[in-house]
Amino acid sequence: MSTPARSARGVALAVFLVALIACAPFRSVQPDTQASALALRVKPATFNLEDPAATRVGRLIWRGGITLSADHAAFGGWSDLEVGADGSRVRAVSDAGAWLVGQLRYDPAGRLVGFDNAQLGRLKAPDGTWLVSKAWADAESLATLPDGSLLVGFERRHRVLRYPAGDEAQGGGLAGTPRPFPTPAALAGTPANTGLEAMAVLPDGRLLLLAEALQLKPGTTTGWIGTLRDGVPSWSPFHYTLVEGFRPTAAASLPDGDIVLLERTAGLPGGWRVRVMRLRAAALAPDAVVQAEELARLATPWVTENLEGIAARRGRNGETLLWLIADDNFSFLQQTMLLHFALAD
């Protein structure tokens, strides 16, 4: 057996064990109460363990990737991200109640190579106190409303908080004091660790929420489309088709109005496996059963991890660009990865 093949299978085994570790009781890793500068160690990510010349998987064209680490107990667990219109500014939230902001750096060919000016802080509750316990601090999804305010979706204590628009250097509003945001009544029936993993604001102003696992119809999980009126959403459910054990972990609006999603599963053989999906916005209707189209599948030997966040933007040349972030579960066996792709026509 070749050395790369042995390495790939070793990675798969390690990742499967991490999936089991992730189910263990949570170790508290609380960020400082004040935002602070963060020194990051940045290394390039390998796209394909067996073929250094590879540049494409499915409809994804590799635009570089990095692994990130820091000497801070709260760095890790990144569950969703957003990238600014120019592709530089980035912000993320973690399942330990932290936020991260900074600037992405690219080489002349547009490949992601760095993460500069990182700042890390802690999310607040509506009463102004810090989100401390895992039950209340488990942020899993992030989206921006047209007025610049930020929606953060939480699981375990299933809810959405609306953070005010604010200075990018201070979390882009994530350092502020939020207000509760109305959610669908059925969300309360979601199992504790399978809540609002995916959330997006569509170009037409509608909101999309998607639970990781809330089965109201066989073979599906439940999502909702919300229409805002005077700042208050009205929600209509839809049902997202599940296949092969994959579950949704993130969503973002594409420039053309459709939705790009991540789906994830883990196990032997293969370790972490991730599907990048497109969901047609036109298919979203009350009580509809919808099925997304697979754009690419990331599994060993392709670069893969516990990918939980996705962002999408139009590039300078008109192409659709994607960024994917991994939750390392605060485990030495995993990595915080930030991956960059262009979507092929």
- Say how many CA atoms lie within 13 Å of 124 toward its Cβ: 20
pLDDT at 1 over 80: no
- Yes or no: say if 90 and 104 are a contact pair by the CB < 8 Å rule: yes
Mean pLDDT is lowest, of 23-27, 142-146, 214-218, for: 23-27
Note the pLDDT tens digit of each residue in 81-139.
Answer: 999 999 999 999 999 999 999 999 999 999 999 999 999 999 999 999 999 899 999 99
Is the pTM for the entire model greater than 0.85?
A: yes
Note the pLDDT tens digit of each residue in 183-205.
Answer: 999 999 898 889 999 999 999 99
Residue 6: the pLDDT is: 41
**How far from the centroid of its chain's Cα atoms is residue 123's Cα?**
17
What is the chain's mean pLDDT, rounded? 90
Cis, peptide link before residue 44, omega less than 30° from 0: no
Domain ranges in the chain are: 3-343
Residue 2: the pLDDT is: 40
pLDDT at 43 over 70: yes
Residue 173: the pLDDT is: 84
CA dist 159 and 136 (Å) reads 9
CATH class of this structure's domain 3-343: mainly beta
Token pair 């990675």 is found at: 11
Report percent pLDDT > 70 for the chain: 89
Mean pLDDT of 294-302: 96
Radius of gyration of the chain (CA): 19
pLDDT at 32 over 90: no
Q: Characterize 289-314 residue by residue with b for buried, 16 or more Cβ atoms within 10 angstroms of its Cβ, and e for exposed.
A: ebebeebbbbbbbbbbbbbbbbbbbe
Note the pLDDT tens digit of each residue in 227-277.
Answer: 998 888 999 999 999 999 999 999 999 999 999 999 999 987 778 999 999
**How far from the centroid of its chain's Cα atoms is residue 127's Cα?**
26
pLDDT at 20 over 70: no
